Amino acid sequence: MIPPPENPLVVAIDVSDLGRAESLARAVGPAAGMVKVGLELFSAHGPASVARIRKIAPVFLDLKLHDIPTTVERAARNAARLGVAMLTVHALGGEAMVAAAVRGVRQGSEEAGHAAPGVLAVTVLSSLSGESLASPASLAFEAKAAGAAGTVVSGEDVAVVREVTGEEFCLVVPGIRPAGSNGHDQLRVLTPEEALDAGADYLVIGRPITGSIDPAATAKSILATIR
Ligand code: C5P
């Protein structure tokens, strides 16, 4: 069994302004295991955003890559050259694509002299619901077979995904809301404690922290509820 991370809190800094992203990262960094750079910040500032944020905290680069294997391999190689701790791809891209991402990050990190980031396969977005979605458990199983380090999975699917992937697989759960807070566009939400009890290794929390009056204090108080 892999030991649980020292700090399971990943704070999503979903903003478009790099200065604001840096000040948020500085505020929440001391309470966070990683900060998440996603499509909003990356499409505004690209690799420079990672270069700046990684000086403050380890970066979880959430690009949710989904394309033909060759393109994903090259993009993953480029992303790994930036020095990130985790990189996401879509599990729906298939086993060959996830395996290509794993090859890409190994190559890129080696070339740049960084530790290789874990490739995480996103199963089903927590803003979706419905019966027509692909099974998170089968997507996660395939991603593991392809060499992924873990998966991004909604809280309600953690237990079943853990069952098929075993203990040595990193489960990252977004759509987390401290008790009593706004669910925003997340349909399937759990509290931090519920998600960890269900088997999550990392929790991704964005707006409840970044939209609060005092992000540093909010991140700290959330961390206190789970430690
Ligand atoms: O602000 P909030 O806490 O809802 O942020 C959730 C973050 O997690 C967003 O950055 C979103 O991209 C991400 N995410 C998600 N569901 C997934 C994968 C990632 O909500 N399955």
Taking CA atoms only, the protein residue closest to ligand 1 atom 12 is 38
Nearest Cα neighbor of 170 from 110, 88, 105, 50 is 88
* Residues 112-165: tens digit of each pLDDT: 999 999 999 999 765 555 555 678 999 999 999 999 999 999 888 999 999 999
Mean pLDDT of 214-226: 95
Per the confidence metrics, is the pTM higher than 0.85? yes
d(CA 206, ligand 1 centre) in Å = 7
56 contacts 25 by C-beta, under 8 angstroms: yes
- The pLDDT confidence band at residue 184, using thresholds 50, 70 and 90, is confident
Domain range for 57? 9-226
Q: Does 70 map to a domain?
A: yes
Please count the structural domains in the chain.
1
Mean pLDDT of 45-49: 98
Q: Does 80 map to a domain?
A: yes
d(CA 175, ligand 1 centre) in Å = 6
66 contacts 97 by C-beta, under 8 angstroms: yes
User: How far apart (Å, rounded) are the C-alpha atoms in residues 147 and 101?
Assistant: 9
Q: Does 3 map to a domain?
A: no
List residues near ligand 1 (CB under 6 A): 12, 14, 36, 38, 62, 122, 125-126, 152, 174-175, 184, 186, 204-207
Mean pLDDT of 174-182: 83
Taking CA atoms only, the protein residue closest to ligand 1 atom 18 is 125
pLDDT at 180 over 90: no
Q: Does 4 map to a domain?
A: no
Measured from the CA of 153, which atom of ligand 1 is nearest? 21
Q: How many CB atoms lie within 10 A of CB 219?
A: 25
Which one of 53-62, 124-133, 178-187 scores highest in mean pLDDT?
53-62
d(CA 105, ligand 1 centre) in Å = 22
* CATH code for position 183: 3.20.20.70
Taken as a whole, the chain contains a residue count of 227
Q: Does 130 map to a domain?
A: yes
Q: Does 147 map to a domain?
A: yes
Is 64 tagged catalytic?
A: yes
Q: Does 111 map to a domain?
A: yes
Q: Which of 36, 64, 144, 220 is catalytic?
A: 64
Q: Does 2 map to a domain?
A: no
